[in-house]
Amino acid sequence: MKFISWNVNGLRACLKKGFLDFYQQEKPDFLCLQETKMSQGQAELELDGALEFWNSAEKKGYSGTAIFTPHAPLDTAYGMDREPHDHEGRLITLEYEAFYLVCCYTPNSQNGLARLDYRMEWEDELRDYLLSLDKTKPVIYCGDLNVAHQEIDLKNPKTNRNNAGFTDQEREKMTVLLSSGFTDSFRHLHPDAEGAYSWWSYRFHAREKNAGWRIDYFIVSDRLKDKIVRAEILSQIEGSDHCPVLLELEV
């Protein structure tokens, strides 16, 4: 099965930049989106009859997630049923016979780390949520997780130390998650790959210079890691300040 995750930084804008061509070319089993910045029905989507699952923020034009798939789930969940985390449209879970698929748009700690304390609460609650799912069946967890885990995951680690997305606290939360029974699929297959980034600032010609960060992930339950066929960063695909990331699994 082919899974793709993409922070589109506004789906309506991305639709004008080749989104549907990309979808038709790849024809993924699951396309997970973050930062849709819209509600279902606000744009015309030609998805060959794919089922659409949307979790939009209460605040208009902000955040939001969606999953498009031809595969009907056994069950769906929006958010993690915990205050105060379910108002910004950041989480969708689809249940299937063999796995749970969780699409996530992790809160950014923001300038001056204004939201770091909240981010830490989110990380702990989200990890508990994933572990509760994992007790039942394996989990495929993906999205813009807003953290570069290791120094290899961004171009300029020294100058970005303790900036949002590369604080010791955020990186430690990722370490704790991975040590709790989960595998970073890209690093599993490409442990030493350098210059592999999924987000670039719009400033300073960052993408042209490949001065980026790897903050978009597919993370799977450890018992799925031997079923990983491909884990790639589709850096050639434009349309957003993020590029899509891809996972192929034998499930």
| Catalytically annotated residues | 105, 144
Residue for token pair 């031997």: 226
Query: Which residue(s) pair with 2 in the sheet?
Result: 248
Contact indicator for 38, 65 with CB cutoff of 8 Å: no
Expressed in percent and rounded to 5, the helix, strand and coil fractions of the chain are 25, 25, 45
Can you read off the two tokens belonging to residue 7? 């922070």
Contact indicator for 244, 22 with CB cutoff of 8 Å: yes
CA gap 240, 145 in Å, rounded: 16
Note the Cα 239 to chain centre separation in Å.
16
